[in-house]
Every structure is written in structure tokens, then in C-alpha cells.
Structure 1
Amino acid sequence: MHRFPSGLAVLLLMPLAAAAQVTVYRCPGNVYTSSADISAKEADSRGCKTIEGAPITVIQGQAPRARAGSPVPEAAASRGPDSRVDPSQQRARDADARRILEAELKKEEERLAQMQKEYNNGEPERRGDERNYQKYLDRAAEMKAAIARKESDIAAIKREIGKLPPS
């Protein structure tokens, strides 16, 4: 039987020990992270301190269970992902969603009409603080962009209403 010299065995095992060693940092707020997650420079900039020689223990938690008096009904907590909602309950939810979206749509359309009136086809009324013509142009450009965003929002609400089943 042939034996390795003890020095050679140590040299062969050193890279394995170095790879297994990870620097652990304790950051403000008692947040712990390792050198695998952030670099030493990042840890220093965040104000993290190095923890050396401290064993790290990870404990797996369990998913919380619904308790009596919990806001989640027991039936909903135990319902599987493939179970169905009662059709009458679903129709009521859809009707509520439609009512809310239509109210939102009406509000947004009124706001758009007001914005368009203020914009006055690209020629809004000049204000007293706009003696500099560029300020006026900047405000007009902001108004135009705001109108475009509002139109996009209205289109999105209409798409959402279109996804709902007819009432």
C-alpha cells in the first residue's frame, strides 16, 4: 500500500476547504448575507460588518395556517387550486368589478375632457408666471404628454371591461 506524504494531502484538500469558506456579513437591521450574495465593496458601502467563525443555521419554516377568527374563511384556506367558485358568487364579483371599472372610466373620461379643454388644441392660456416663452412651451408639452397618458389609461380600463363576461 502506497501512502501520500502528509504535506501533499494537505495541498490537495486546501482548495476544497477554501471553496467551502464563505464570508458572512451582518448588515444594519439585523440582515445577514454572504459573500455569495454581495461583494465586499457592497457590504462595506451598506455598513455591513464581517462575522468570522460564527456558525450559520438555517431553519425551514412552515406555511401559516388559518386560525379561528382569521380574515380568511376556512373553506377558502382549505380550497385547492383546481376548485371552483359558486357561479352566482362569481357573477356577483364580476358585476362588482364591472361597476367599479365603469365608475373609474367615467371619472377618467371627465378628467380627460377637462385636460383637453385646458390644453385648447395646443394653445393653452398663458399664465402670469410664464413671461419666458420656453416655460409656456414646456407646460404645453407636459399637458400634451399628460393627455396621452390619460388616453392610454382610458384604453386600458376599456380593455379590462371588455375582458369581463357580459352582465
Structure 2
Amino acid sequence: MTSSNSRAWIAGCALAASVFTLASCTSSGGADGATRPSSAPSSSPTAAGPSERQLTQRAEDALAAVGTGRLFESGAERVTDGVHSEAKLDAGTAYRLSVVCFGSGSAHMTLSPPSAGARSELPCDQSVLRRRITATGRLRLDVDAAGGATGVIAWRIDTV
């Protein structure tokens, strides 16, 4: 009977060792035995920052808050895509261009014709850049990301 007791004892030890091995492989504890939070991604927008839709809404709201006159034209784009827009303005009419970037990094803004303003940096810090423009016809607005900039750029042209 000693051989069946030995077999049962060996089987029991093997089972206990298997359970211990599985438990230690799936444990989230560190070397000191303390548990650490899981590194699984969260679907919550606040964990990874605001969503693109939220950034767009915030940027458009910021422009609406500083809007003067009547809305002529507006838009919003991802910083990585840039803004490349051309508006046909009525010659001799005064307009106000407002541009804002919500995100991180910065972008470079260029207006054409050059008389509409010099190339300028647009920080993605939620500050609104405004320019008064007297139209001579078409206005070309180009905004391109600098470096690894991310977020949303929104722009608005109002008649003054």
C-alpha cells in the first residue's frame, strides 16, 4: 500500500505545484508582493485626454466666444492634417480672422496674399490668434503642424 500512498502524495504535490505556478504567472504583484494597478488601456476619455470631438467643440466654442460681426466662413481640422483653405472675400470689406489650436505643440500659420499678415507661430495652448484683414479678393490660410504637434485647429472669418 505504500506505493499507492506514494503515488497519491506525488500527484498531490504535482497538482499543488501546478496551481502555484499558474497563480504566480498571473499575479500582478511586484517583487515586494505589493499589488500594482493593471496596465490595461482605459476607454475613458479623461484617462487619455479629451477626444478629438471634444477638442473640436472646445476650439469652436472658444472662437464663438470672441466672434465679432457676422460669421462668414469657419472650419476645424486635425493639427496633423493642417488647414489649407481659400476664401473668396469681397474686395474692400473688413474681416476678422480668428484661429485657435487645442492640443500640444505648435503650428505655423501663413496667409496669402502676404499683405494679409506675416507668417506666425500658433501655439496649441488654447489662445486665440486674431487678425483684422481688409480683403483684396481671395485669402489663403495655411496652418501646418510643427514637430510632433497634435490636437485640433479651428478657424473663423467674421465680417466686421
Common fold: TM-score over 0.5: no
Pick the structure with more strand per residue.
2
TM-score range, shorter chain: under 0.3
Normalised to the residue count of structure 1, the TM-score between the two structures is 0.19
Normalised to the residue count of structure 2, the TM-score between the two structures is 0.20
**Which structure ranks higher in relative contact order (CA pairs < 8 Å, sequence separation ≥ 6)?**
2
Pick the structure with more helix per residue.
1
